[in-house]
Structure 1
Amino acid sequence: MVLLDKFGRPFLKLRIVVNDVCNFSCIFCHFEGQPRVVGPKLNADDYGFLAETLAKIGVYDFKLTGGEPLLRADIVDIVRRMKRGSVKISMTTNGFRLAELARELASAGLDRANVSLHVADPDKFSKVTNTPRGWYKRVLEGIDVAHQAGIDIKINAVILRGINDDGSSLKSLVKLASSVGASLQLIELMPVGSGAKIFNELYSPAENMIAHLLNMGARPMYTRKDLHNRPVFYVGGVKVEIVKNWNNPYFCAGCTTMRLTSDGKLKPCLYREPAADLYRPIKERNAEALIREVARVVYLREPTFKLSYSSL
């Protein structure tokens, strides 16, 4: 059984915020659309129950985010408890602790790590993330160890005007991704959280990066229908995904994802407020109540950006 919303979009993927703290302070951080200090957290057993229950309604793809998920002392146990059957577990991380935890995470069943590395330049990296310059090298070490441990690596880069949206910066990122066997994901800046404060100054449309890719000889491969209708290119031995999320109805039309805050609230979209509190049914191990609440929120889902109310 798979749940469909009123627009025919299936619910297939869940982004899970596992904590509300981070040791980086990126200039655009949206913190997954939730406050930085919230209520009590779910534990590893809770997440295991959640994954087991949602798999019954066709959700097999879970992304662990934060905050910085690797700052949780039990993050390896969370991955281990959630990983079962056909379930896929990925994680978005700043990579700071990846070198020390990658082998344990791989053993626990982590399939992929999306590492935030927005520019292949230590000085620019330091300014974007508000971290010491030397942390850039530490992130690279983490990527290398994770790759050797068998974890698929995808480098996340938020597109920022005047910082990394030029052809030279893109070539450097592609070269870096190629050297570590990673794919690359170019993400438009979102006017959420800290991103709202710098949006007018630093927003650069994804079309600019597509133009650079084509100038580099990139070959269009396909469109990811299962995830926001993302266009995918291939250049220099690297797969490059374009995440054009802002004011893009085609992106919303292909959305198969919802979000869970670190205190168990279900959000139908980054731009929406929580629509259900799943904390109690998860803690009570009430699968029926959990599925009922999830089904209710799926029914309420609507695209944030629409072509028209009659065409989606």
Structure 2
Amino acid sequence: MIRLRLPNSRFEDLGDFVRLVWRKTLIADFKKGELERAVRRKFRVEVSVGAEDGALTVTTDNPDVERFIAFYIQSNLGAMLRNRYTGRRVIYIHEGMDVPLLGYNAFGLIDRGTNLIQVRGVSGCNMSCIFCSVDEGPYSRTRALDFVVDVEYLMKWFDWVAREKGKGLEAHLDAQGEPLLYPFIVELVQALRDHPHVSVISMQSNGTLLDDRLVEELAEAGLDRVNLSIHSLNPEKAKILMGRKDYDLEHVLEMAEALVNAGIDVLIAPVIIFGVNDDEAEAFIEFARRIGAGKRWPAIGFQNYIPYKFGRNPAIARPIPFKEFYAWLRRLEEKTGMKPLVLRPEHFGMHRRPFIPLAFQRGEVVKAEVVLPGRMEGEMIAKARNRLIQVIDANARVGEKIKVKIVRTRHGIYVGTRA
């Protein structure tokens, strides 16, 4: 009996399928019958394929079969890769694809004209927050696929951006979803820690995928701060807001404390929906104080709920003007003594830096090559001048050359339409 194990992977038996779980967040399901037929065609022997204790089992002792099965799985993995939490197909972006990592919102790097660079290695989320601004998570009605960027390729682009922006950067790991879905998150933090231009490494997270071991690994790699998205301290209300019946608030609260104990600063970052969770503001403040959050940076970052065109905008959510929101924050500061609650960039050491020069101007028509399908129906991703362009209402094939009219360039995120 062969017991095949692959690095950073485990196999699970699903009846007619064996599932490869790679780095905890990515999966690929292989039909047992197809694997058995492939062996039969190659070696003229009958075998039975299964999974046990994390290993792929094959009823033979022939080492050539083991090597063949390993090669077969690795060769087909790219086409079969899916996000373990959203179930969506995953496109793995690596250097050989020659896909730029500037210009698109869902993955790569974003420069908003400060010393903070957003680093997005993955798309997708394991939660389905009812107010999500980008309709993410397992219950998304609009997102069709996910992306994962190879960590070495991501760092190659980060190095170029860092040299353009200068030293003293904050690398902020975020996503259109949950950054901890990134299968190379520890390696990414370590690589950023070793970069001479990086002073601070921060991350946005809902905390659900943390465990004691991962917290220690992130601390050892050099993560400085986690902005932790906790939207209610009531377990049942939290499940409603997070859009998941399996949301474990107690676990997330324990992980918040574990982060602080490991030397990683924590900023509690609730989205406030007035009439829903604004009455918990003082409880959030008390929790932050109790665990010792906010040692180097503010302990609380209350966020005002904002409806978005492509987001989820629940009927229970009542947006309020920012002027009213800031007045509410100031009253909280006076009542609780927790300051600052009205946050400014300087509280995080952020300051303006020149933008990486724009590659396109609004209204310009450019010839671009379609390189990837988009995340939503009718969207494609094209490249030109070493930048990506989100092309909306595009009926085109990957590899096709098209004319694109640039309609948006804000913060170096390029959106266009067919010209």
- Normalised by the length of structure 1, the TM-score is 0.64
1:220 deviation in Å? 5.6
Q: Report whether the alignment pairs 1:92 with 2:204.
A: yes
Q: Distance in 1 between matches of 2:259 and 2:385?
A: 32
Instruction: Say which of 43, 55, 61 aligns to 2:170.
Output: 61
2:306 alignment counterpart? 190
1:63 deviation in Å? 1.3
Structure 1 residues 277, 165: closer, same or farther in 2, change over 3 A?
Answer: farther
SS at match of 1:90: strand
- The structure in which a higher percent of residues are helix is 1
2:182 alignment counterpart? 72
1:198 deviation in Å? 3.0
2:256 alignment counterpart? 143
Q: Distance in 1 between matches of 2:132 and 2:160?
A: 31
Q: Distance in 1 between matches of 2:170 and 2:135?
A: 17
Percent identical pairs in the alignment equals 27
Letter of the structure 2 residue corresponding to residue 175 of structure 1: E
1:86 deviation in Å? 4.2
1:52 alignment counterpart? 159
- The structure in which a higher percent of residues are strand is 2
1:280 deviation in Å? 6.1
Q: Distance in 2 between matches of 1:194 and 1:275?
A: 18
Task: Give 5+ residue unaligned stretches, structure 2.
Answer: 1-111, 137-141, 294-298, 357-370, 373-378, 389-405, 412-419
Cα contact 1:228–1:255 (8 A) shared by 2 = no
Q: Which moved more, 1:210-219 or 1:114-123?
A: 210-219
Cα contact 1:93–1:114 (8 A) shared by 2 = yes
SS at match of 1:77: helix
Instruction: Say which of 264, 269, 272 aligns to 1:159.
Output: 272
* Residue-pair matches, total: 243
1:5 alignment counterpart? none
1:11 alignment counterpart? 114
Task: Describe how 1:112-127 pairs up with structure 2 within 5 A.
Answer: 112-127=225-240
Q: Distance in 1 between matches of 2:151 and 2:221?
A: 12
2:319 alignment counterpart? 203
Q: Distance in 1 between matches of 2:341 and 2:147?
A: 44
Q: Distance in 1 between matches of 2:123 and 2:337?
A: 41
Question: Could you say what the CA RMSD is over the residues aligned between the two structures, in angstroms?
Answer: 4.1
Q: Deviations over 1:116-156 (max 9, x none)?
A: 01122212111110223660011012112211111111111
1:288 alignment counterpart? none
2:223 alignment counterpart? 110
SS at match of 1:24: coil
Letter of the structure 2 residue corresponding to residue 70 of structure 1: L
1:80 deviation in Å? 1.6
- Normalised by the length of structure 2, the TM-score is 0.49
Q: Distance in 1 between matches of 2:115 and 2:339?
A: 28
SS at match of 2:300: strand
SS at match of 1:113: strand
SS at match of 2:269: strand
Q: Distance in 1 between matches of 2:355 and 2:307?
A: 19
Letter of the structure 2 residue corresponding to residue 25 of structure 1: S
